Amino acid sequence: MIRSEKAKKIISILNKIYPKTPIPLNHKNNFELLISVLLSAQCTDKRVNEVTPFLFKKANTPAKMKNIPINVIYNIVRPCGLAPQKSKAISKLSKILMKKFDGKVPENFEDLESLPGVGHKTASVVMSQGFGHPAFPVDTHIHRLAQRWGLTNGKNVKQTEIDLKKIFPEKLWNKLHLQIIFYGREYCEARSCYGIECKICKTCYPQRKKPIKTKKA
């Protein structure tokens, strides 16, 4: 089965299971979204949503956040892991947003990725979920699924993103990104399925017998 055929079947399956795709990270503005996505690195969305209410109660805009001591930010975000780096990044990017962007989250990849702690995946989520621009954020989880489903041979998330954008229509990227995340969590987890149990894996590879090992992202 060629990739375009797999893509059609995957879209059909995901649309039936997830007709609606609520944004997993709770936020009230694009600054809160940016901070939440930054905190989600190597952390669950559930944990981020438990932590951010305490952080945003103190400051939910760059103007307020830049005045919060780093140690205060650190103590709040510590449950999310990588707290030293994340707390410093939150403080620095808040100051940069005030100084260079009039306190607004920039609406383009170049400026977003220039901010401390903001990589391409984080910028893609903000562009997609915050501003509604077509983007296909790829993390290690989507990278793993794309390999299991035979949609990429990429050894890293950058190549996987390129491959997925070629396969799926641009108008579906924003929704599809979330659908794949939801599906991976529920049916094709990292330490189960292994490419041979869930409906999508069986659909793409009905004759597969051996577990799939994911190439490092």
Domain stops at, among 96, 130, 164? 130
Helix, strand, coil % over all residues of the chain, rounded to 5 = 60, 0, 40
- Rounded to the nearest 10°, the torsion over CA 59, 60, 65, 71 is 60
Same domain for 116 and 72? Answer: yes
Q: Is residue 209 part of a domain?
A: no
Average pLDDT over residues 172-195: 95
Tokens 């396969």 map to which residue?
167
Q: Tell me how far apart the alpha carbons of residues 17 and 111 are, in angstroms, rounded to a whole number.
A: 36
Domain stops at, among 130, 158, 174? 130
Average pLDDT, rounded, for the chain: 96
Closest CA to 182 of 42, 50, 36, 23: 23
Residue 191 confidence (pLDDT) above 70:
yes
pLDDT band, residue 213 (cuts 50/70/90):
confident
Three-class SS string for 63-132? HHHCCCCHHHHHHHHHHHCCHHHHHHHHHHHHHHHHHHCCCCCCCCHHHHHCCCCCCHHHHHHHHHHHCC
- In this prediction, residue 74 carries a pLDDT of 98
Residue 18 confidence (pLDDT) above 90:
yes
pLDDT band, residue 154 (cuts 50/70/90):
confident
How many C-alpha atoms does 130 have within 13 Å on its Cβ side?
26
Same domain for 72 and 154? Answer: no
Q: Is residue 157 part of a domain?
A: yes
Q: Is residue 83 part of a domain?
A: yes
Average pLDDT over residues 118-136: 97
- In this prediction, residue 14 carries a pLDDT of 98
Q: Tell me how far apart the alpha carbons of residues 203 and 116 are, in angstroms, rounded to a whole number.
A: 41
Same domain for 40 and 126? Answer: yes
Average pLDDT over residues 79-88: 98
Average pLDDT over residues 150-162: 94
Same domain for 100 and 63? Answer: yes
Residue 216 confidence (pLDDT) above 90:
no
Same domain for 67 and 116? Answer: yes
Domain stops at, among 94, 109, 130? 130
Q: Could you give the number of structural domains in the chain?
A: 2
Q: Is residue 214 part of a domain?
A: no
Same domain for 56 and 108? Answer: yes
Looking at 92, 139, 158, 213, which residue is catalytic? 139
Average pLDDT over residues 34-46: 96
Residue 217 confidence (pLDDT) above 70:
no
Tokens 């990044």 map to which residue?
89
Looking at 6, 66, 86, 121, which residue is catalytic? 121
Closest CA to 64 of 86, 94, 30, 88: 94
Average pLDDT over residues 29-34: 98
Give the chain's length.
217
* 139 is annotated as an active-site residue: yes
The 10s digit of each residue's pLDDT in 57-71 is 999 999 999 999 999
pLDDT band, residue 214 (cuts 50/70/90):
confident
Average pLDDT over residues 103-117: 98
* 121 is annotated as an active-site residue: yes
Query: Domain range for residue 69?
Result: 30-130
DSSP annotation of 172 reads: G
Q: Taking CA 94 as the corner, what is the angle to CA 90 and CA 100, rounded to the nearest 5 degrees? A: 140
Residue 140 confidence (pLDDT) above 70:
yes
Q: Tell me how far apart the alpha carbons of residues 54 and 172 are, in angstroms, rounded to a whole number.
A: 34
Average pLDDT over residues 72-76: 98
Give the CA radius of gyration of the chain.
Answer: 18
The 10s digit of each residue's pLDDT in 192-202 is 999 999 999 99
Here the tokens at position 156 are 């890293």
Here the tokens at position 122 are 């984080």
Q: At what angle do helices 70-77 and 45-58 cross, to 10 degrees?
A: 150
pLDDT band, residue 55 (cuts 50/70/90):
very high
CATH code for the domain of 197: 1.10.1670.10
